[in-house]
Amino acid sequence: MGIFTKRIGIDLGTANILVYVPKRGVVLNEPSVVAVSETDKKILAVGTEAKTMIGRTPDDIIAYRPMKNGVIADYRVAEAMLSYCIKKAMGKYNIIKPEVLISVPAGVTSTEKRAVVEAAIRAGASQAYVVKEPILGAIGGGIRIEEPGGHMIVDIGGGTTDVAVISLGGIVASTSVKCAGDKIDRSIIDYVKKQHNLAIGDKTSERIKIEVAAALPATKDEEQFIDISGRDYISGLPRTITIGTNEIVGAITKELRQITQAVKDVLAETPPELASDIIERGIMMTGGTSQLRNLDELVYKVTGVRAHLVERPLHAVAEGTGKMVEHMDMYKKSILSKR
C-alpha cells in the first residue's frame, strides 16, 4: 500500500451508514438520511443531523433515505451521502482520492452494483469496489471465508435480510428478501393505528421495537411494557397508551415468517456436505435487526439449527469492509475478481 493510497470501507445500509478506516476502526456510524430543501433542492444535512429533522421540520425540508431495500433509490442524494462519508473519513483538507470498498445486498443486479460504483466515484473515490454483505458480515464476524467448509450467514438490516452459505470465499446459495427492520417498524405503526386508533411516527415505532418487541411470545414475568404517545385518529388530540411485548409479537409475525422462510429456503438448496458443516457450526447472525429479542431462538425453532449473534451485529459488515480493505491485495485476487 503506497504512501499516497488511502482506503476506506463503507457499509452502505438502508438504515445506517458506517465507515471504516484502517488503523482507526469504525469512524462513522450515522443514519442513512439526507435532509433536502424542497424549494431549491439543496442538500442541508446528512446523517444524524438530518435524522433529528425528520418529522420536526417545516414543509419545505424533506428528509430522504437515499437507500431503499439496500439499493440506491435516489442517485443524487446517495452521492451526497457518500461524499459526506468520504470527507469525514479523510479529513477536510485531504486532496487524495481514496479507494473505497462498499457493501451491497446479496441480491443486487449488475446495474445496481454499477450505480453504487458510479455514485462513489462521483462522490470522490479514485476506485470503488462492491462486495456482497453476507461475505463482509462473515469476515467481520471472524470467519476465515477462504477455507473450504460451509458457513451460513443471516444479515438482517434495515431494508433487506440477506441469507447466504459461503464456502471457499464464494457464495454457494443465497437469497435476499426485502423484509427487515424497516418493515417491522411499519407493521408496528399499522398495528397501533388499527388496534388503538393512534398515529405514531417512525421514531416511536423504532423505540417500541428496541425496547419491548420480541420474536417469540414472552411469559407473564418476562413481558415488558412501554408507554407511547401519539395522535388520536378520532379526536385529533395527543394520547398515551401502554403496549406490551406479546401484542407486538403478534403484530410482526408476518415479517418474522418472511425472514425465517428465507433461512429455510437457503438451507433447502445447500449441498449436503456443506449442510452438515452448518449444522455443526450453527447459523451466524449479523446486522442491526438481528438484535431483536429471541430472534436467534426463533430461527432455531424453525430450522432446527442453532443460531448465534456475532459480538457486534451492527458493526459486523463495516468491520468486514475494514478487514478486506486492510488486506486488499490478497482479496483483490480472490473475491473482488468474482464481482
Are 247 and 164 part of one and the same domain? yes
pLDDT tens per residue, range 269-324: 999 989 999 999 999 999 999 999 999 999 999 999 999 999 899 899 999 999 99
Mean pLDDT of 324-339: 70
| Predicted pLDDT of residue 190 | 97
Angstrom distance (rounded) from CA 193 to CA 186 = 11
Instruction: Using pLDDT thresholds of 50, 70 and 90, give the confidence band for residue 105.
Output: confident
| Judgement on whether residues 226 and 329 belong to the same structural domain of the protein | no
Given this model, what pLDDT does residue 38 score?
Answer: 81
**320 & 301 share domain:** no
User: For the chain, what is the total number of helices (H) and then of strands (E)?
Assistant: 12, 18
DSSP assignment of 151-188 equals EEEEEE-SS-EEEEEEETTEEEEEEEES-SHHHHHHHH
Domain encompassing residue 165: 143-309
For residue 25, the tally of other CB atoms under 10 A from its CB is 12
Q: Are 55 and 44 in contact (CB under 8 A)?
A: no
Residues 154 and 212 placed together within one structural domain of the fold = yes
CATH of the domain at 249: 3.30.420.40
> Are residues 193 and 126 both part of a single domain?
no
- Distance, in Å, from the CA atom of 181 to the CA atom of 46, rounded to the nearest integer, reads 21
Same-domain pairing of 332 and 250? no
58 lies in a domain? no
What's the mean pLDDT in 27-46?
A: 87
Same domain, 166 and 300: yes
Residue 253 pairs in a beta bridge with: none
Is residue 150, in this structure, part of any structural domain at all?
Answer: yes
What's the CA gap between 64 and 190, in Å, rounded? 21
Query: How many domains is the chain built from?
Result: 2
Question: Do 183 and 280 reside in the same domain of the chain?
Answer: yes
Question: Is 47 within the bounds of a domain?
Answer: no
Judge if 206 and 105 occupy the same domain. no
For residues 7-20, average pLDDT: 90
pTM: 0.86
Are both 113 and 206 inside the same structural domain?
Answer: no
Find the farthest-apart pair of alpha carbons in the chain and give their distance in angstroms, rounded. Answer: 66
Are both 163 and 118 inside the same structural domain?
Answer: no
Q: What is the pLDDT of residue 338?
A: 46
pLDDT band at 55 (very low <50, low <70, confident <90, very high): low
Among residues 12, 40, 258, 38, the alpha carbon closest in space to that of 136 is found at 12
Q: Are residues 196 and 91 in the same domain?
A: no
Kindly state whether residue 255 falls inside one of the protein's structural domains. yes
